[in-house]
Structure 1
Amino acid sequence: MPDWIPQNWRDYSLWGWLAPVLSVLLAVAATRLLRPRLVRRLRSLAERTPTPIDEALVYGLEATRPWLVGAMVLGPATAHLPLGAPWSRVVEVITVVGVFVQIGLWAARLIDFWIRRSRQRALKNDPGTATGFAVTSFIARVTLWAIVLLVMLDNLGINVTALVAGLGVGGIAVGFALQNILGDLFSSLSIVMDKPFQIGHFIDVDGYVGTVEYIGLKTTRVRALSGELLIFSNTDLTKARLRNYQVMQERRIVFGFGVTYDTPPEALALIPGLVREIIEAQPQTRFDRAHFKAFGAASLDFEVVYWMLTPDYTTYMNTQHAINLRLLRELNDRGIAFAFPTQTVHLQAVRPVRVRMEPPPSDS
């Protein structure tokens, strides 16, 4: 062997060096070949049982990585070799990292299985919970890998307490840098927990109206009536004045009209009852009131209030269309004219003033 190889390495048998290498390669090859077959076999058995535990175990088994299994085998396979301090430390780091990363992948897979299963059950009753599970999944994964990282570093002999203290100071700086992103994240969580709106709801955000299509960790997407996609940051939504029309049970309608000043008082007194009759003839309506409201600048103004017993906007417009047509017809039949803006100009004759002009006196 070359002179740069330590003497204790050269004194060890060749088979002693080949055995760990073959063990690692065998572990990687066996995992790559047997994992798909084992997963298919266990899945067929799990489908026959009512409990979800075996399904979760099979789902987690799919996250097994051959190269991580090889890293896990490396430590025990080389335990008998006279590697010395530097190389023993390298093998220890590779083995510990392989073990904890693989455990993290298994745990993340189990979390994903639980969230996916819970989401499928919840969506049957409440479609708006989809975002809640997305936020829960994100927080659970971040927490999981933070724990895995800290435990792994602790097993490698690193002072985790000092590291956490340092991260706390650095986290303040990172928090200031990412305050907008973190603000949107917590706003998303607030939307999920408080549920001011959900996917499929028709909302009005400061004059922008549309149907909610997606609620994400940072933004919410709303499909406008004209077809374009409106994108709001979650922070803006939690601060905005928002109207949710989806939860409306009834729709209150207020409209007005005016008739001309030459309408006799007897005809004016008939109008509220006539309006009530017209509204009550329409389906899904409840009459509230109709009053001679005010003397306008060019009309005698009436105000009408009624309720639509359905929140559907198209139904409301069809009903209002029918009310307007019949109101126009009934008032025309009674000789009552609708007023429109007019202006009367009064001209007053003024007696002309005669002005006598005399030449100025001369200086002479």
Structure 2
Amino acid sequence: MIADPLLLPFILINLLGIAGIVVWHLQGRGRPTARLIVQILFFTAMTAILGFSGILPHRVNETHLTGFAAFLATSSRVLWWTHLAWATIGFVRIYIVLDRRPREARLFQDLIIGVVYLGVALSIMGFVFGAPIGALTTTSGVVAIILGLALQNTLSDLFSGVALTLGRPFAIGDWIQLDDGTEGRVVENNWRSTHLLTLANNVVVLPNSVLAKVGLTNLSRPDETHQIFLIIRIAATHVPNVVEEVLRTALESCERIVQDPPPSVGLKAIDAVAIEAELMFRVVGPANRTPARNEVIDQVDRHCKESGLSFAMPPQSYLYALPAPGKEPQAAIGSRSSGTL
């Protein structure tokens, strides 16, 4: 047994395989690139020994070996297949790092890793231990159908997460708004759900299957500047071009809104009571909407008072007198609410 020419290669492969595992753990998670290089180097060395010794990892020809020698032959093949899986995963991770993929690509990477481990596990059982792979595959298919029926919602979240990852409608850090009004910054995107951090400092967890079915607006693309529309009603006793000039001056004096492109004032309508103007301005991000709107309202109020402009009452403050018998109704203006912007 000692003189068997295959014994030394099996011993070397086992030593390299165990040493690779030890060195891989000693590298720590803080050095992912070094970890991957170690995996690839040890796998290359094990493959070279197998090649020079004429040993096939997918076929067991050493039927004459018994006892400890047979154990070394089996363990060396198991270690080789294990390091093959790690080296393949290492190539996948290096590719994703070098390609500068976004953080949400982690989901797609995890799926590839799962497929690699499954394939290697089946290869070990079939090529090393001689288990019937066909029967295992058939059994696995039946089990997969049963699990698929039992985990429909989970699998729906999983594949929806894959679709969102490949489609990339948003990235980590983007601010999105859903059709139902929910909005927030994307802080996490995993295989099952997407987490949004709202303005109220709450985390909303959205299942990927739900997120894939609703319409969403990415407020961070093409950039995070966000446009706001604000309606102002000025009394119709004033000249429209004066109203426009005063409101534009008020916008230009604001410091919390974007001045490039410049804000604008649009006169939308006029009647016997009010001139309706729409203020259009941008803020640096969705989170700045409230303080920017507050500043705009403050500046509009200040400039209107300095220029002698008065606000018109809102439409809901109009009252209609009840008609007397045989007479047409007469409109009247009441004072249920004070003038508002």
TM-score range, shorter chain: 0.5 to 0.7
1:79 — aligned with what?
Answer: 64
Return the match for 1:257 from 214, 232, 246: 232
The verdict on how the C-alpha distance between 1:340 and 1:62 changes in structure 2, with shifts beyond 3 A counting, is: farther
2:269 — aligned with what?
Answer: 293
2:212 — aligned with what?
Answer: 238
Matched, 1:270 2:270: no
Q: Deviations over 1:59-79 (max 9, x none)?
A: 65899xxxxxxxx9xx99983
**Residue aligned with 1:247, SS:** coil
**Residue aligned with 2:155, SS:** helix
CA contact (8 A) 1:104 1:145 kept: no
One-letter amino acid of the structure 2 residue matched with residue 214 of structure 1: E
2:200 — aligned with what?
Answer: 226
Return the match for 2:301 from 311, 328, 344: 328
Matched, 1:339 2:312: yes
Matched, 1:112 2:77: no
**Aligned residues: percent identity?**
18
The verdict on how the C-alpha distance between 1:110 and 1:159 changes in structure 2, with shifts beyond 3 A counting, is: closer
Q: CA deviation at 1:197?
A: 0.9
Question: Could you state the TM-score of these two structures normalised by the residue count of structure 2?
Answer: 0.66
Q: Deviations over 1:181-212 (max 9, x none)?
A: 22222112111111111111122233332222
Q: CA RMSD in A?
A: 4.6
Equivalences for residues 1-364 of structure 1 within 5 A: 31=15, 35=19, 55-58=38-41, 60=43, 79=64, 98-123=75-100, 129-150=102-123, 152-153=125-126, 156-205=129-178, 206-249=180-223, 250-260=225-235, 263-264=236-237, 266-280=238-252, 282=254, 283-295=259-271, 299-308=273-282, 311-313=284-286, 317=290, 319-341=292-314, 342-344=317-319
CA contact (8 A) 2:192 2:208 kept: yes
Bigger RCO of structures 1 and 2 (CA < 8 A, at least 6 apart): 2
**CA distance in structure 2 between the partners assigned to 1:131 and 1:178 by the alignment:** 23
**CA distance in structure 2 between the partners assigned to 1:80 and 1:347 by the alignment:** 109
The verdict on how the C-alpha distance between 1:228 and 1:157 changes in structure 2, with shifts beyond 3 A counting, is: same
The verdict on how the C-alpha distance between 1:102 and 1:231 changes in structure 2, with shifts beyond 3 A counting, is: same
Q: Deviations over 1:316-364 (max 9, x none)?
A: 55554443333223322343322335455758999xxxxxxxxxxxxxx
Structure 2 residue runs without a partner (length 5+)? 28-34, 47-56, 326-341
Structure 1 residue runs without a partner (length 5+)? 1-15, 44-51, 64-71, 84-90, 351-364
